[in-house]
């Protein structure tokens, strides 16, 4: 539990024991629940009606034949979901192969686990992506590893990392990237290359910062600068490749920072108890449920396709417009529940503990919680390597806002330099900043005295 959370709980307990805060009546809670469920049901119904009404005006290329049993077309305009849903079905046999190999290695060759996993991962990825793409990933690793081995500086690591990331954002490199393999006309595999290379950038940045800034890798090796040999450097580079190419988490994550990955892979295997097996099966069932529910909804709710048609957006009523926003947000959450959940569950079989799935955004009322609990891997990376080194919340308000601004600059550049990403990043920074200012306002002595002096019957409602 964080220090801030403890203070909030202690304050709430003090107010409750003193009689300042009274529990919300049961009837009132039921009314809130009924209004919430009714509102969500109605706006979703409005989206369903709008999908039927404007079906003929939507782009025909954003639909394909759906499940035969339903006799309806399916909205495939959300490229990310449509691509990875099909892609996971294609690589599912390789996931099964990894699971089978992991158990054989765990029972018979545990001491060679890293080497065997690395060979399997690179072999499968070469088959799936092609040898040119694998060489590109290895080239990125060699460049940043060699440069940071010579200049052990956090600044040098970040300059090198951002320079390598720039190859994803500069149009001059697009042709070179597309020439690395046999990409289809729609650019699906080019998208996959950009997606996985961006994730790799986070991983090799994490590795180098942990290794040369925190001195974690060199300390565990027990060697001073003079004693570091070529074999040690090669061993550390193999660790980097193993971390980058670890197959279950390679394509979509979630991101495990290297300190977590190394610790979890180095510890002894966790015994397989009945409760652990049941929990893992339940996690797989949950992922399958959300995947099928997403596919089912896309047969009836065309909110993705409607968003691409400005003329329709101008025509629909406000209830339907609210429903579009709600459905888009929930679909975004369930999409990443599947994209993070399936690889994470396979990694759990290897006794790893990946970041948890995204929390339901309908229950998040603080915008900072959206960043903390949606993509926890990205949040951990930004906090550990950018926000805290820049001072975090310890060095005053200006440094705090400055650190947040730098974090969102990285978020913008990492997601791509398109204008809509810029607007999204700016709005995120403004939202988080307003929240910080609101907490500062509530911490003012006059506001605290006002809370204590009043009989805060309405405190929980607020």
Range of the domain at 421: 359-462
List, in order, residues 6 or more apart from 225 with CB less than 8 Å away.
Answer: none
Residue 18 forms part of a structural domain: no
Q: Which of 266, 286, 303 is the last residue of a domain?
A: 266
**Do 390 and 255 belong together in one domain?**
no
The number of distinct structural domains making up the chain is: 2
**Do 142 and 258 belong together in one domain?**
yes
Residue 288 forms part of a structural domain: no
| Predicted pLDDT of residue 228 | 55
**Do 95 and 241 belong together in one domain?**
yes
Residue 195 forms part of a structural domain: yes
85 has pLDDT over 50: yes
Q: Name which residue leads in pLDDT, 34 or 443.
A: 34
Q: How far is CA 178 from CA 127, 142, 160, 184, 189, in A?
A: 17, 21, 23, 10, 9
Give the DSSP letter of residue 212. I
Residue 106 forms part of a structural domain: yes
Contact 250, 129 (CB under 8 A): no
Q: Residue 65: which H helix or E strand, with range?
A: strand 63-65
| pLDDT tens figures, 386-437 | 999 998 877 788 888 999 999 999 999 999 888 999 999 999 999 999 998 8
Residue 73 forms part of a structural domain: no
Cα separation, 278 vs 234, in Å, equals 40
Taking alpha carbons only, the member of 154, 179, 350 closest to residue 256 is 350
Lowest mean pLDDT among 178-182, 238-242, 310-314: 178-182
Cα separation, 429 vs 402, in Å, equals 11
**Do 140 and 261 belong together in one domain?**
yes
**Do 86 and 220 belong together in one domain?**
yes
Q: Please state whether the predicted TM-score (pTM) of the whole model is above 0.85.
A: yes
> The tokens 């729609």 sit on which residue?
186
Residue 107 forms part of a structural domain: yes
Structure tokens given for 326: 């709600």
List, in order, residues 6 or more apart from 90 with CB less than 8 Å away.
Answer: none
Cα separation, 432 vs 413, in Å, equals 18
Question: How would residue 15 be classed by pLDDT, with cut points 50, 70 and 90?
Answer: very low
Q: Phi then psi for 75, rounded to 5 degrees?
A: -75, 115
| Predicted pLDDT of residue 441 | 84
Residue 35 forms part of a structural domain: no
Q: Which of 266, 291, 306 is the last residue of a domain?
A: 266
Q: Which of 216, 244, 266 is the last residue of a domain?
A: 266
Question: How would residue 442 be classed by pLDDT, with cut points 50, 70 and 90?
Answer: confident
**Do 253 and 139 belong together in one domain?**
yes
Contact 331, 78 (CB under 8 A): yes
List, in order, residues 6 or more apart from 328 with CB less than 8 Å away.
Answer: 303, 304, 307
Residue 336 forms part of a structural domain: no
Look at the chain and count its residues: 462
Contact 199, 253 (CB under 8 A): yes
Taking alpha carbons only, the member of 166, 125, 122 closest to residue 143 is 166
């Amino acid at each position: 539990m964080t220090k801030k959370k403890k203070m909030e709980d202690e304050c709430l307990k003090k107010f409750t024991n003193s009689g300042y805060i009274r529990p919300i009546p049961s009837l009132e809670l039921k009314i809130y629940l009924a209004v919430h469920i009714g509102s969500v049901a109605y706006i979703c119904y409005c989206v369903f009606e709008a999908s039927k009404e404007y079906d003929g005006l939507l782009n025909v290329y954003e639909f394909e034949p759906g499940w035969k049993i339903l006799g309806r077309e399916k909205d495939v305009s959300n490229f990310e979901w449509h691509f990875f849903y099909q892609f996971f079905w294609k690589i599912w046999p390789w996931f099964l192969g990894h699971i089978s190999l992991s158990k054989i290695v765990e029972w018979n060759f545990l001491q060679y686990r890293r080497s065997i996993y690395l060979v399997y991962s690179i072999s499968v990825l070469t088959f799936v992506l092609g040898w040119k793409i694998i060489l590109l990933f290895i080239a990125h690793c060699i460049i940043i590893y060699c440069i940071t081995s010579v200049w052990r500086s956090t600044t040098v690591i970040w300059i090198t990392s951002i320079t390598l990331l720039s190859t994803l954002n500069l149009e001059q490199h697009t042709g070179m990237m597309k020439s690395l393999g046999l990409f289809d006309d729609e650019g699906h595999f080019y998208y996959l290359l950009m997606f996985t290379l961006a994730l790799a950038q986070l991983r090799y940045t994490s590795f180098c910062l942990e290794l040369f800034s925190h001195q974690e890798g060199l300390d565990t090796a027990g060697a001073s600068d003079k004693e570091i040999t070529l074999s040690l450097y090669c061993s550390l580079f193999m660790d980097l490749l193993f971390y980058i190419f670890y197959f279950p988490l390679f394509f979509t994550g979630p991101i495990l920072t290297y300190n977590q990955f190394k610790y979890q892979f180095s510890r002894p295997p966790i015994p397989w108890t009945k409760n652990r097996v049941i929990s893992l099966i339940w996690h797989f069932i949950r992922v399958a449920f959300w995947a099928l529910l997403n596919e089912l909804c896309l047969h009836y709710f065309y909110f993705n396709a409607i968003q691409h048609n400005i003329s329709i957006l101008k025509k629909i009523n406000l209830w339907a417009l609210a429903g579009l926003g709600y459905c888009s947000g929930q679909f975004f959450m369930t999409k990443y529940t599947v994209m993070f959940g399936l690889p994470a569950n396979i990694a759990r079989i290897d006794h790893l503990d990946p970041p948890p799935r995204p929390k339901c955004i309908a229950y998040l009322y603080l915008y900072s919680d959206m960043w903390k609990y949606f993509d926890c891997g990205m949040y951990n990376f930004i906090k550990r390597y950018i926000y805290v080194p820049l001072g975090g919340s310890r060095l005053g308000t200006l440094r705090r806002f400055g650190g947040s601004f730098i974090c969102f600059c990285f978020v913008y550049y990492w997601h791509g330099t398109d204008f809509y990403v810029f607007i999204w990043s700016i709005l995120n920074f403004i939202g988080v900043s307003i929240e910080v200012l609101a907490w500062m306002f509530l911490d003012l002595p006059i506001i605290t005295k006002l809370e204590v002096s009043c009989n805060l019957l309405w405190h929980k409602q607020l």
